[in-house]
Amino acid sequence: MLGSNTLCTKSIAELKNHHFLIPDYQRGYRWEQQDVTNLLDDLWQFSQAQGGQPFYCLQPIVVRRRMPDAQSPAAWEVIDGQQRLTTIHIILTTLGITAPYTIEYQTRPDSAAFLNSMQQDKADTNIDFYHMFEGRRAVAQWRGRHTPQACAAITRMLQGADEPDARIIWYEVDARENAIAVFTRLNMGRIPLTDAELVKALFLRDSNFHNEAGRLEQQRMAQQWDEMERVLQADDFWFFLSNTEQKDNRIALILDLVARQWNNGAASAHDAHFTFLSFAQALERVAEPASGDDPCAPQQTCRREACWQAVRTCFLTMQEWYRDRTIFHLVGFMVAIPPRSKGKPAERKSLVSELWAEYRNCHSRTAFHTLLRDRTGFRLDGTILSIGKNAVAELTYDENHPDVVRVLLFFNIATLLNNTSANTRFQFNHYHQEHWDVEHISAMAEKESERVMQPPAEWLRYACRFLSAAGPGVEKEARDLRAEADTLLVQHEPDPQRLSTLVKAVTALYDEGGYGHDSKHRLGNLTLLDRSTNRSYKDSIFPIKRARILDLDATDTFVPPCTTNVFLKYYSPDTDNMMYWRETDRDDYQQAIIDTITAFLKNGKKDGAKS
């Protein structure tokens, strides 16, 4: 039924002589004074801005046409948006302007009369009147704090006489749709109409297609839309472009990239409905000659098809990026890394948008590879590998945590990309969904209680396992500790004192020793671990962590390849005893990180020279 819906933007003036019915399945008016004040502030600030945007966009109003009857002459049933319609009515009348439309409240017939009269002596007779009167009070207070010119600017915007004006997104559902079902969908859990749904309605509305050939074209677009959404629903595809969980309407990412590419001035990129407004303007422009060589620019001779091809081109390019192993890993890395400073969520969208723009300007795929390598943040100054202003070898957990995350994640990426004969890919979806972060390889805890996994039985099972495989020189002590662990394991609740004593003894047996507290914060003692694993074993000793990681790896649970290698002691030439993480292991591991990333950067220079 989506194609039968009507979607457009309307100024408040265009609502002249409209009569709205607020049906009985909706609650009453509930905006607070601050909500009204915020709207007035936004309108005033917008009227003073120099951005050249043609209008201020209010939230969607969802309506259904209804035939007048003996009980009500209402022509429009408001499914969603009564709060905004009522507030605008209050603002206009308080500022001395007659509202162009009327509102009727099905279960509260007196509310329409009160909305027009605003008699203070009746304001406390019911909750709807109270909120309406408080809204009027908020407008009056705002007017008292501002100049007549400010109030005039507000009335001009709401009367729609000149640009910039205020407009609503007018979403008219088909008269045959179940209004209560639509209302429930929009309001149960407050699920608003998304830009993706609004843009889809723009493309597929029936007024675009006038004959059998048009209906076939409409069906083609609908099928292609569904196919794009299906591909984006694959988590391995989605999470190399985004680090946020989003269950539905993932195609919004593609639409946002195209909207940012056009940058047609329809709205600020910070506008809540930036994407929809960009498409609305692109699809409704007056025909004019196309300009520029960008094949994705909206061609005015056939706006709808050109806009649709822009969406398809962007989507197909993202598929090409996904299939290209180098692009997949480098884009996925840049999307995954934390920002150096606290920023807005939109920054990740901006990153992919920037890369998309740079890709279109690259003369070859190899040139784009080189550009991505240059944007990783790593550089070689002679033999010194740096990230930002810091040498990688000098990074510490407490002082350089964001850069440590970058280094450890890129260590995994470089390890995979340096092996050109393999097809293994980093699983960004698991990395994001399971919240992998930096943790210490050897224990940081000072109290034995902080070293015990929860539940303790799991710690005891792991202890029994590695104590049975104790190396030379500690067999008897390990055998005695194993016996104690077996005894505690069969207890329903292990005796706390005996457990604490056991943990202390096992820790002493496997104490790595030979390094200070500061050394434990160095890169050579850090790796990526997932949140649930780290919480389960807290800050246990190396063999406990090793057993846990190897169990995960054995069950095909995602573990970053370099994390597995660390606990297999892959980077340590001395593997006589796998249950210790000594300072020599740390030094070898840290050097492996530096050598691997250095090799990747040098290979990139060779590839760049060839291109």
Out of 193, 210, 228, a domain closes at 193
Strand partners, 246: none
Q: What is the spatial distance between Cα 134 and Cα 111, in angstroms, rounded to a whole number?
A: 14
Q: Which domain holds residue 558?
A: 405-597
Tokens found for residue 588:
């070898």
Tallying the residues shown for the chain, one arrives at 611
Tell me the Cα Rg of the chain: 32
**Are 182 and 225 in a shared domain?**
no
**Are 317 and 416 in a shared domain?**
no
Sorted by sequence, the CB contacts under 8 Å of residue 88 that are 6+ apart come out as: 12, 58, 99, 158
Cβ atoms of 30 and 83 within 8 Å: the answer is yes
SS3 65: strand
Cβ atoms of 24 and 104 within 8 Å: the answer is no
- DSSP code, position 21: E
Average pLDDT for residues 39-45, to the nearest whole number?
92
Q: What is the pTM of this model?
A: 0.76
**Are 259 and 300 in a shared domain?**
yes
Tokens found for residue 379:
């550089």
**Could you tell me where the DSSP H helices lie in 520-582?**
531-537, 542-554, 561-567
Residue the block writes with tokens 């607020």: 22
Question: Maximum CA pair distance of the chain?
Answer: 98
Q: What pLDDT is recorded for position 376?
A: 93
381, part of any domain: no
What's at 546, amino acid-wise? R
Cβ atoms of 249 and 229 within 8 Å: the answer is yes
Q: What pLDDT is recorded for position 4?
A: 61
What percent of the chain clears pLDDT 70, i.e. is strictly above it? Answer: 82
**Are 50 and 169 in a shared domain?**
yes
**Are 188 and 233 in a shared domain?**
no
Cβ atoms of 46 and 56 within 8 Å: the answer is yes
55, part of any domain: yes
Burial class (CB in 10 A: 0-12, 13-18, 19+), 564: middle
Q: How many domains, the chain?
A: 3
**Are 68 and 173 in a shared domain?**
yes
pLDDT digits (tens, 9 = 90+) for 398-415: 899 999 999 999 999 999
Tokens found for residue 281:
């303007």
603, part of any domain: no
Confidence of residue 296 (pLDDT cuts 50, 70, 90): very low
Q: What is the spatial distance between Cα 353 and Cα 371, in angstroms, rounded to a whole number?
A: 15
User: Distance between alpha carbon 216 and the CA centroid of its chain, in Å?
Assistant: 35
379, part of any domain: no
Q: Which whole-number Å values give the CA distances from 540 to 410, 489, 512, 543, 574, in the listed order?
A: 26, 18, 12, 8, 23
**Are 555 and 489 in a shared domain?**
yes
**Are 336 and 412 in a shared domain?**
no
> Which of 372, 93, 428, 419 has the alpha carbon at shortest distance from 243?
428
pLDDT digits (tens, 9 = 90+) for 249-285: 999 999 999 999 987 665 666 677 889 888 988 887 5
**Could you tell me where the DSSP H helices lie in 118-175?**
127-145, 148-159
Q: What pLDDT is recorded for position 339?
A: 65
414, part of any domain: yes
**Are 422 and 556 in a shared domain?**
yes
Q: What is the spatial distance between Cα 332 and Cα 504, in angstroms, rounded to a whole number?
A: 42
Burial class (CB in 10 A: 0-12, 13-18, 19+), 313: middle
**Are 356 and 415 in a shared domain?**
no
**Are 226 and 94 in a shared domain?**
no
pLDDT digits (tens, 9 = 90+) for 67-91: 766 566 668 999 989 999 999 999 9
609, part of any domain: no
213, part of any domain: no
Q: What pLDDT is recorded for position 164?
A: 65
384, part of any domain: no
Tokens found for residue 426:
């980093």
Per the omega criterion (within 30 degrees of 0), is the bond before 345 cis?
no
Tokens found for residue 138:
């908020």
pLDDT digits (tens, 9 = 90+) for 185-240: 666 555 567 889 889 888 887 777 778 888 888 889 999 999 999 999 999 999 99
**Are 277 and 188 in a shared domain?**
no
